[in-house]
Amino acid sequence: MSGGAGGAAHACFSCHGLDGEGDGVSVPRLAGLDAGYLQKQMEDYASGIRPDKVMGPVAKPLDDDARRAVAAYYAALPVKATGGAAAPPPALWTAGDPARDVAPCAACHGREGQGVGSGQPALAGQPAAYTIDQFDRWKRAVRRNDARGVMTAIAGKLTESEVAALAAWLETRPASPRPASGAASASAVEAAAAGSAASREGRRRDR
């Protein structure tokens, strides 16, 4: 956590803080995120699948045990109570856009952005600037470590204003701990798949 042989410039806490809460601007919260998700991101930074000029040099020198230890440390940190006044989520979050074959964001990231498993991380309470930047990276295929290219496809269909609305709403959501079990994850994903399939079938009948 102190940067090891890389020195203080590679210390995790120098960007993400001792409490794992990030900087509230462009550095994401890591506290309470799923350990499996965090470890995969470290591995992807190291391999270059998720290129980043800051995280790449940090992750690459670490061995598997070190990456696992870092992931476990941040996953175990308590999540601070955050969030603003209650506001309705953007329509894309709850309903998606069947016309563009965009599934509801909530299907993978939870009703309040709490995530539904290691492959679908919590987004609640993350800085809007960080979320917008990640959408831009998905859209340009700079970031390409998503399963089956789901986020790349979705990001390419959304407008800048839609992304900004999603990011602004997520920033106000209370940072929630990850789900207690995988049952909710499976249910949400299955529901999203069923809704998407029904949408495609409806469009085929319309033609």
Sign (positive/negative) of CA torsion 76, 77, 78, 82? negative
Q: Let me know: does 154 contact 122? Beta carbons within 8 Å.
A: no
pLDDT of residue 178: 53
Confidence grade of residue 111 (pLDDT, cut at 50, 70, 90): very high
Q: Let me know: does 175 contact 167? Beta carbons within 8 Å.
A: no
Range with the largest mean pLDDT of 2-11, 77-86, 162-171, 180-189: 162-171
Is the pLDDT score of 7 beyond 80? no
pLDDT of residue 79: 87
Q: Let me know: does 155 contact 139? Beta carbons within 8 Å.
A: yes
**Which amino acid makes up residue 46?**
A
**Which amino acid makes up residue 24?**
G
Between 192 and 76, the more confident residue is 76
Confidence grade of residue 186 (pLDDT, cut at 50, 70, 90): very low
Q: Let me know: does 49 contact 143? Beta carbons within 8 Å.
A: no
Tell me the whole-structure pTM to 2 decimals. 0.80
In order of start, what are the domains of the chain with their CATH numbers? Answer: 4-76 (1.10.760.10), 91-206 (1.10.760.10)
Region 51-77 average pLDDT:
93
